[in-house]
Amino acid sequence: MSLVTVVFLTGLFFLTAQTTNIGNPVQGKTLFQKHCSSCHGKSGGGLGPSTHMPNFSDKHYQELRSNLELFNKITKGTEESGMPAWEKILSPEERWNLVAYIKTLSK
């Protein structure tokens, strides 16, 4: 097996692991309450001042967003909604824990 193949397969495995094993929702809930609920509401309904605030309790909204998309929005933030980027504040593991918790809000 060539080095290029090994590198490709390793990257594919890493990406697959990140998008399927999305973290710990119990730890994510604690982070959500501490960092996110002031804008997104305790139940994720979107209480913030922005008209672009998502409603995480909406099953349709959740079905349209992949785990990786949510992770990237948490990581980079979104200018139109005023959401800050969390990449320098929360570790990747913490951001995946947030994704795991957010995904539970529409169940």
CATH of the domain at 74: 1.10.760.10
> How many domains are there within the chain?
1
Predicted local confidence at residue 17, as pLDDT: 45
The Cβ-side half-sphere exposure at 26, using a 13 Å CA radius, reads: 0
Given a cut of 90, whether residue 31 has pLDDT beyond it is yes
Predicted local confidence at residue 91, as pLDDT: 97
Query: Which residues, at least 6 apart from 47, have a Cβ–Cβ distance to it below 8 Å?
Result: 39, 40, 41, 53
- Domain residues for the domain of 82 are 3-104
Can you tell me the mean pLDDT for 63-84?
92
